């Protein structure tokens, strides 16, 4: 059997899981409203049908003070438990198992009545928490235990206590946030009393065999975080108190080290998991930046973990496990760690979905139902929009022909995967390529479709994409002025001093490409972000090692706002930090005047800032000034559909393109 370590069963307490894949907890927004319970049930049921061993829900608060935001999900009454029966039954009907995660947000709660171990404000939340009184701590422990008992009544097969990522339990554990002087603060064992008591009290209520998982913060990545010794002592104490599995979390939400986005090397945290596993006797679950069955299987085969938690990869492909088991791993729609439709949505109060799988969390509303009459569909353009339209239409049973004038599929996405830290994007094209093959789509590369070619089709989807915008600026036609496509495709080799005009997502990506000479190893990545061994450095933080940029880059924009402010909510900060590490000079409010030939074959960019004339001597100017739609083929007529960048180029991203492609195919 392929992936036989990952796909072998495991017993935890009174629960035998069919394999070791855990769909990790992820807040989707569907948890927060009773009206969304049918959608939540369908979302989980689809993953259970796809073979996952154990699903963990998003976080449910044990009481109102633990809400993540006003009216957030809570499990604190029999009524709540009764409502959840629909969710648990849906998963059980598909042969799956499901755990409820109990999460108290503590000082991360976006409410003015938030509480924490001490009244210390989080840097990522405007609300300052109130310190829980000693009585308040005791009643919070009781609320956690009651919530866990209610989960069992609701039909959950297990629970997970959220003790990582900087939420309330983590706030009790770290000196950084716990400055109490009662029995719940001070020494490490006093700080650990809160989670240990929760587990002990919950165990009393649910009996010896009900599986209780605890998500432990393996490495806090914040100043004043826990030491490795404290973490291991906590693991022992939790084990003694009755925890069945130790899951692992990495970094607090306020940490300034990225932990899950694309640029974090795959499997980056596995060695820390292995160290924990070597200390304890309960099973240990690995998490964060594990997104393929190969990596997950190897983690178990090499004894680094007993289970592997994958939250976003199961959002991206509900059939992840089934495909792995059927030796169809090359058909897995791999999570690319972009956060654009999952965490960025969750942290912006929007329902989560997935960039590469827009059906995620929309299982009941975006349905690719089989067609009754077999129609012929032409898709023109094999960028993200065209690819998703072609694959989705073929999945419905339509006869699809895909025209692409280039030599390969991928469009703008092919350029994105050349950016350092975005190598995972290659997997999306592998997925689309393989699905086109399996579904029998007639792919015609190096073929420019004509109106005559398209006459014979019942539906025509025009997804001809975008072309880089050339700003009307004196000197843009000089040699040495190139487009981002020239750079990322490798057609030109930029000089040592480069000006990048336009600081949107692509300007930032191109700056990263220009400054990084070779792919980073995991050790280099850790050094540059200042990740050290928590056995020697509290919280696992050390002074970041400086980077040596391969080129001197100046990144310019006309807007006066800080550069990169429009990037993803949960990843933009890391891209901006990276530019600083690479000493990229950032200029906002640049009023361009033109580009001129400079001495020794160079170029001079002239612009003003606050009316003051500026000059910049460079070897190369890279234009990253957005895109314009390419729609020469487009004709408004029945059965014709315009999607992706060909439809609207402004701020087009792959999320919108793939979703639009799927929606148009669903409606054919």
**Closest distance to ligand SF4 from the beta carbon of 353 (Å):** 7
Q: Which is nearer to ligand NAP, 16 or 561 (CB)?
A: 561
Q: Which is nearer to ligand SF4, 193 or 578 (CB)?
A: 578
**Closest distance to ligand SF4 from the beta carbon of 461 (Å):** 23
Under the binding rule (CB under 6 A), the answer on residue 503 touching ligand NAP is yes
Residue for token digits 């990582």? 164
Contact stretch for ligand SF4 (CB under 6 A) within 15-23, 60-68, 248-256, 336-344: 336-344
By a kind-dependent CB cut-off of 5 to 8 A, residue 355 interacts, out of ligand NAP, ligand SF4, none, with ligand SF4
d(C-alpha 203, C-alpha 666), whole Å? 48
By a kind-dependent CB cut-off of 5 to 8 A, residue 312 interacts, out of ligand SF4, ligand NAP, none, with ligand SF4
**Closest distance to ligand NAP from the beta carbon of 110 (Å):** 24
SS3 98: strand
Contact present, 134 and 118 (Cβ < 8 Å): no
Q: Work out which of 87, 338, 541, 623 binds ligand SF4, going by CB under 6 A.
A: 338
d(C-alpha 602, C-alpha 417), whole Å? 29
Structure tokens given for 589: 């409010």
Q: Which is nearer to ligand SF4, 21 or 498 (CB)?
A: 21
Under the binding rule (CB under 6 A), the answer on residue 339 touching ligand SF4 is yes
Contact stretch for ligand SF4 (CB under 6 A) within 10-18, 338-346, 437-445, 510-518: 338-346
Beta bridge partners of 285: 247, 307
Interface map 30-69 toward ligand NAP (x if CB under 6 A): ----------------------------------------
SS3 246: strand
Find all residues with CB under 8 Å of 523, minimum gap 6, and list them.
Answer: none
Window 294 to 313, contacts with ligand SF4 (CB under 6 A): 312
Three-state DSSP string of 184-219: CCCCHHHHHHHHHHHHHHHHHHHCCCCCEEEEEEEE
β-sheet with 399-403: strand ranges across: 442-444, 399-403, 376-380, 459-462, 640-642
SS3 256: coil
d(C-alpha 668, C-alpha 665), whole Å? 5
Under the binding rule (CB under 6 A), the answer on residue 384 touching ligand NAP is no
45 secondary structure, DSSP code? H
Under the binding rule (CB under 6 A), the answer on residue 356 touching ligand SF4 is yes
Under the binding rule (CB under 6 A), the answer on residue 315 touching ligand SF4 is yes
**Closest distance to ligand SF4 from the beta carbon of 338 (Å):** 4
Q: Work out which of 220, 306, 424, 509 binds ligand NAP, going by CB under 6 A.
A: 509
Contact stretch for ligand SF4 (CB under 6 A) within 204-212, 300-308, 354-362, 365-373: 354-362
133 secondary structure, DSSP code? P
- Strand-pair category, 245-250 with 212-219: parallel
Q: Which of 3, 43, 108, 167 is catalytic?
A: 167
Give catalytic status of residue 536 as yes or no.
Answer: no
- Strand-pair category, 497-501 with 459-462: unpaired
Closest Cα partner for 431 from 504, 357, 354, 503? Answer: 357
**Within 18-166, where are the H helices?**
37-49, 78-93, 134-153
Q: Which is nearer to ligand NAP, 43 or 513 (CB)?
A: 513
Contact stretch for ligand SF4 (CB under 6 A) within 232-240, 323-331, 351-359, 451-459: 351-359
d(C-alpha 572, C-alpha 564), whole Å? 7
Active-site residues, by number, are: 167
Residues that bind ligand SF4 (CB under 6 A): 312, 315-316, 335-342, 354-356
Interface residues with ligand NAP (CB under 6 A) are: 469, 471, 501-507, 509, 557-559, 567-568, 575, 624-627, 651-653
């Amino acid at each position: 059997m392929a992936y036989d370590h990952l796909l072998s069963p495991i017993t935890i307490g009174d629960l035998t899981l069919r394999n070791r894949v855990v769909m990790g907890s992820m807040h989707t927004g569907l948890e927060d409203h009773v009206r969304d319970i049918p959608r939540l049930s369908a979302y989980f049921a689809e993953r259970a049908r796809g073979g996952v061993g154990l699903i963990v829900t998003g976080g449910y608060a044990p009481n109102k003070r633990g809400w993540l935001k006003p009216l957030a999900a809570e499990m604190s009454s029999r009524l709540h438990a009764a409502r959840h029966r629909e969710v648990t039954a849906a998963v059980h009907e598909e042969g799956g198992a499901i755990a409820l995660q109990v999460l108290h947000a503590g000082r991360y709660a976006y409410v003015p009545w938030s509480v924490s171990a001490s009244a210390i404000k989080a840097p990522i939340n405007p609300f300052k928490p109130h310190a829980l009184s000693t009585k308040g701590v005791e009643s919070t422990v009781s609320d956690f235990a009651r919530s866990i008992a209610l989960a069992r009544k609701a039909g959950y097969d297990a629970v997970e206590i959220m003790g990582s990522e900087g939420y309330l339990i983590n706030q009790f554990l770290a000196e950084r946030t716990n400055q109490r002087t009662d029995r719940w603060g001070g020494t490490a064992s006093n700080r650990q009393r809160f989670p240990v008591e929760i587990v002990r009290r919950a165990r009393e209520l649910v009996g010896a065999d009900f599986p209780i998982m605890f998500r432990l913060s393996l490495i806090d990545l914040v100043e004043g975080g826990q030491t490795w010794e404290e973490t291991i002592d906590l693991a022992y104490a939790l084990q003694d108190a009755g925890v069945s599995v130790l899951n692992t979390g990495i970094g607090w939400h306020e940490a300034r080290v990225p932990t899950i986005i694309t640029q974090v090397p795959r499997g980056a945290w596995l060695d820390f998991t292995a160290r924990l596993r070597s200390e304890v006797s309960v099973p240990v679950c690995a998490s964060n930046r594990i997104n393929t069955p190969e990596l997950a299987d190897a983690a178990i085969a090499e004894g680094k973990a007993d289970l592997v938690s994958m939250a976003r990869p199961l959002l991206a492909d509900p059939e992840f496990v089934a495909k792995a088991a059927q030796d169809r791993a090359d058909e897995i729609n791999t999570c690319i760690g972009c956060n654009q439709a999952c965490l960025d949505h969750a942290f912006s109060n929007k329902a989560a979905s997935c960039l590469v799988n827009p059906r995620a969390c929309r299982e009941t509303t975006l349905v690719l139902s089989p067609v009754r009459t077999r129609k012929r569909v032409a898709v023109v353009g094999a960028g993200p929009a065209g690819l998703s339209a072609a694959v989705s239409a073929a999945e419905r049973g339509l006869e699809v022909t895909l025209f692409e004038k280039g030599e390969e599929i991928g469009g703008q996405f092919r350029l994105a995967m050349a950016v350092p830290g975005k190598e995972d994007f290659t997997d999306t094209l592998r997925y689309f390529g393989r699905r086109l093959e399996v579904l029998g789509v007639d792919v015609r590369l190096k073929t420019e479709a004509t109106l005559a070619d398209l006459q014979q089709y019942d539906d025509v989807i025009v997804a001809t994409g975008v072309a880089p915008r050339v700003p009307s600026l004196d000197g843009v036609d000089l040699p040495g002025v190139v487009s981002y496509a020239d750079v990322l495709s490798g057609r030109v080799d930029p000089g040592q001093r480069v000006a990048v005009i336009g600081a949107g997502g692509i300007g930032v990506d191109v700056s990263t490409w220009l400054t990084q000479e070779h792919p980073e190893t995991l050790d280099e990545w850790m050094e540059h972000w200042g990740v050290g061994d928590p056995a020697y450095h509290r919280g696992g933080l050390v002074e970041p090692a400086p980077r040596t940029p391969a080129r001197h880059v100046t990144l310019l924009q006309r807007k006066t706002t800080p550069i990169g402010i429009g990037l993803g909510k949960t990843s933009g900060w890391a891209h901006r930090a990276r530019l600083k590490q690479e000493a990229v000079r950032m200029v906002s409010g640049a009023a361009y005047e033109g580009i001129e030939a400079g001495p020794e074959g160079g170029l001079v960019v002239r612009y003003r800032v606050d009316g003051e004339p500026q000059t910049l001597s460079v070897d190369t100017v890279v234009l990253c000034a957005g895109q314009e739609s390419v729609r020469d083929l487009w004709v408004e007529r029945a059965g014709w559909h315009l999607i992706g960048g060909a439809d609207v180029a402004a701020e087009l991203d792959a999320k919108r393109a793939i979703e639009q492609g799927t929606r148009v195919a669903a409606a054919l």
